[in-house]
Structure 1
């Protein structure tokens, strides 16, 4: 049995060496990963600009961390796809514990055989190709997830700033309504106006207070949405929000986007990667139709004569019934499905980009017009009406109309600025414009 012990030990060491090397390579990575703490989440965060909010979100977002983990999983699958099949060791003892001349171990025949399955037909290369396309697709998914987060954070921050300004507008409306009510009471007490004017002023004040309360609740909801995207318990906005008023020059919203412009969208490349993945999967299924070959080499020991003989074996499955017809048909259909989906997605993305640019231009023109002409005119008209009412030259209804016009203009400008930032975030996402930080939550772990 000495030869058997030697064969078993050699085969075991040969099979264990690649695994041992892999484990040795993995240990530094595992230690490094354990040494890096996970990014802190929760608590209170302070945001002063869109760039700061985006940086916080990319470092703290669980969604981005999940996409990065999926990318690492795809790389692990690629590593696994390139490995050779493990050899098989078999030990057989024959003619043992029988009767007559086979009693005990007198006629024992012991065989030790080492088998190795050989993948023929390029299966291993095809499998690696599929895994490589999976890695590329996962990386595109990660980029798309980060860009989606950037868009959502910019939208949520613009919504929060607009909601806070709406609170200020409604508070100013309530303050002016209070002043108007005080003036109306003075005029009623002096006998210059009827009591009806005072009641109207009270109604205006009550309406303004209700509007202020509603705006405060909407502002709280907007902050909650932003806090969710930032993986925080609460968000504190900086007092300075001058970036919200900066809309730049007029964007070009005319014409359909050029192919190279739409091609900057990472979703285009993602669909190309999906097509390559489907093509690689079809090639793999075709390769799997070729059966593998198993070679065996062994040693047989005859105890009765103390002779030793070599064993050679070859095993090849006969592709009589299963030639992977179903797998090839499935992969071919999935490739066709991916081609149709990619063509539809490309058309949809190009159309969406054109619409987003047109809507951005419309939002810019509205915000620019309200800021440059409508709001100044409304402020001037209200100032004249209030001063004239105090002097008795205008009726109370004219003051109320001018006040309503003023605050409608302020609210429209606030909403137009919000809409502009929303549309710009959407257009940038579709065009793949945002410059992302080089590190994020998963990269820093």
Structure 2
């Protein structure tokens, strides 16, 4: 059944549940013990953790971006990649060399040989440009990968934020139910003193009250655990106080279809962008590997000076001649690619290129699946939320009020009260879980799409996924429900007092 069908069905006004006939027992002591019909509001325990002055999920994500140590460390990869980009564009340095040698160092003549030269390597095959292209793509890939890390952190924060709010809702409901259950214990004790009920009835009520206390402990622990996880996710200390902003009980309705969300994911997902850059990077590395097979050329220039002593033969008149010779030499060197033509580097680059293509293809298929699954879960959560709000909880709440009134009047046993209260508690718990599931599926949808859904993705104004209260009245409202639990005591006591004279007449 789709959301529209549910909205159409819940348009039928809900039937009002009441009691047709009341049979009253003895409850004079119960009335005597309950003299104050004015309810004392039970403070919501979640106010310690949730409030209008708390941090919204957007501020939590922003705080994580500036405080998380692992994210700050990941951003240093940008500095590393930028440095590699600068290095990739640099030309080879010239090489200067000089030599000096003389027999004088070993006790010989003062002859010497001196030379100085300079050489400049030149890269051929466009190596520097291709190396720079690879470095630029690596920098872009690092940016996309860091954006993916930031997206995952934001998803985790949103998920734990929804869990914390859900646990806070459950804690408030359990606190109010426990307050109402305390009244039920007092009434049952009074009726036990009058002999209207058995001790087993009182034990059942107390067991149910203790069961609610256990659930309250679990809800509080779940709330505090979620807050601890949020502190860790945003990079704050676990002992640092944290208060969250409340979440709307009437969540917005998504206004995008599956095809639009899929297209948005295929264009915005940062990990897919990184994969596409990786595909281009594989091609660039292959071009660089092929260019590296081309030999480099190194021209050189060298100046040499030689001082030598020559002994002339006797036929030439004898003696020693001191001669100095200067020489200027030009040269060029080039590697001969006979056995090493970078065959291994080229083969490795080809493998990396094919790997990048297959990775991108698989990721695109995965993204389509993730968006479809998340969208289906969102629709299911929306349908369940509509059912709980418009049908299940209003009926369960009316049933419990009726059974409680009948029990106070002596019509029903405590078994019916305990069972009906348990059913309502289970339904409210399930409602809180479904509301959490709705927000969690929105978060999962944002994770699948790759970015937070903009306001334009939802229905305009304050349109909610739930039907309008004017069109479908009698919907479950958490605030009114908590208030009704607190006011129920006064209403039932007033009802009992008003019927007391008639009961006494019936006894006569």
Q: Spell out, residue by residue over 1:313-345, the C-alpha distance to the aligned partner (whole angstroms, 9 max, x if none).
A: 211111111111111111101111111111111
Match for residue 439 of structure 2 among 421, 424, 429: 421
Corresponding residue of 2:420 = 402
Larger displacement relative to structure 2 (207-216 or 170-179): 170-179
Report the count of equivalent residues.
387
- SS of equivalent residue, structure 1 residue 245: coil
Q: Spell out, residue by residue over 1:202-234, the C-alpha distance to the aligned partner (whole angstroms, 9 max, x if none).
A: 211221112211222222211110000111124
1-structure distance, mates of 2:256, 2:392 = 23
Q: Spell out, residue by residue over 1:419-442, the C-alpha distance to the aligned partner (whole angstroms, 9 max, x if none).
A: 111111121122233289xxxxxx
Q: Spell out, residue by residue over 1:39-96, the C-alpha distance to the aligned partner (whole angstroms, 9 max, x if none).
A: xxxxxxx843111211111221223212321112111100000001122111112344
Q: Spell out, residue by residue over 1:248-296, the C-alpha distance to the aligned partner (whole angstroms, 9 max, x if none).
A: 1255565695545532322221111010111111111111111211221
- SS of equivalent residue, structure 1 residue 93: strand
Larger displacement relative to structure 2 (390-399 or 296-305): 296-305
Corresponding residue of 1:113 = 117
Q: Residues 39-438 of structure 1: matches in 2 within 5 Å?
A: 47-97=54-104, 103-104=108-109, 106-234=110-238, 236-238=241-243, 240-241=245-246, 243-249=247-253, 258-259=262-263, 261-304=265-308, 305-434=323-452
Shift of 1:172: 2.7
Structure 2 spans left out of the alignment, 5+ residues: 1-52, 309-322, 455-508
Instruction: Please tell me whether the aligned partners of residues 166 and 436 of structure 2 are also in contact (alpha carbons under 8 angstroms).
Output: yes
Cα gap change, 1:215 to 1:260, in 2 (>3 Å): closer
Larger displacement relative to structure 2 (67-76 or 228-237): 228-237
2-structure distance, mates of 1:283, 1:152 = 40
Cα gap change, 1:417 to 1:288, in 2 (>3 Å): same
Corresponding residue of 1:41 = none
2-structure distance, mates of 1:153, 1:90 = 61
Corresponding residue of 1:30 = none
Cα gap change, 1:198 to 1:288, in 2 (>3 Å): same
- SS of equivalent residue, structure 2 residue 337: coil
Instruction: Please tell me whether the aligned partners of residues 253 and 354 of structure 1 are also in contact (alpha carbons under 8 angstroms).
Output: no
- SS of equivalent residue, structure 1 residue 85: coil
2-structure distance, mates of 1:230, 1:254 = 31
Cα-Cα RMSD: 2.2
Instruction: Please tell me whether the aligned partners of residues 255 and 354 of structure 1 are also in contact (alpha carbons under 8 angstroms).
Output: no
Corresponding residue of 1:32 = none
1-structure distance, mates of 2:60, 2:362 = 34
Cα gap change, 1:402 to 1:253, in 2 (>3 Å): farther
Cα gap change, 1:133 to 1:250, in 2 (>3 Å): closer
2-structure distance, mates of 1:320, 1:249 = 69
Cα gap change, 1:403 to 1:356, in 2 (>3 Å): same
User: Structure 2 length as normaliser, TM-score?
Assistant: 0.72
Larger displacement relative to structure 2 (228-237 or 421-430): 228-237
Structure 1 spans left out of the alignment, 5+ residues: 1-45, 437-445
2-structure distance, mates of 1:209, 1:65 = 43
1-structure distance, mates of 2:244, 2:447 = 27
Q: Spell out, residue by residue over 1:134-155, the C-alpha distance to the aligned partner (whole angstroms, 9 max, x if none).
A: 0110110121111112111111
- SS of equivalent residue, structure 1 residue 109: strand
1-structure distance, mates of 2:273, 2:338 = 41
Shift of 1:113: 1.0
Instruction: Please tell me whether the aligned partners of residues 252 and 361 of structure 1 are also in contact (alpha carbons under 8 angstroms).
Output: no
User: Structure 1 length as normaliser, TM-score?
Assistant: 0.82
Higher Cα Rg, which structure: 2
Instruction: Please tell me whether the aligned partners of residues 185 and 198 of structure 1 are also in contact (alpha carbons under 8 angstroms).
Output: yes
2-structure distance, mates of 1:252, 1:396 = 50
2-structure distance, mates of 1:98, 1:83 = 42
Larger displacement relative to structure 2 (155-164 or 246-255): 246-255
Cα gap change, 1:435 to 1:365, in 2 (>3 Å): closer
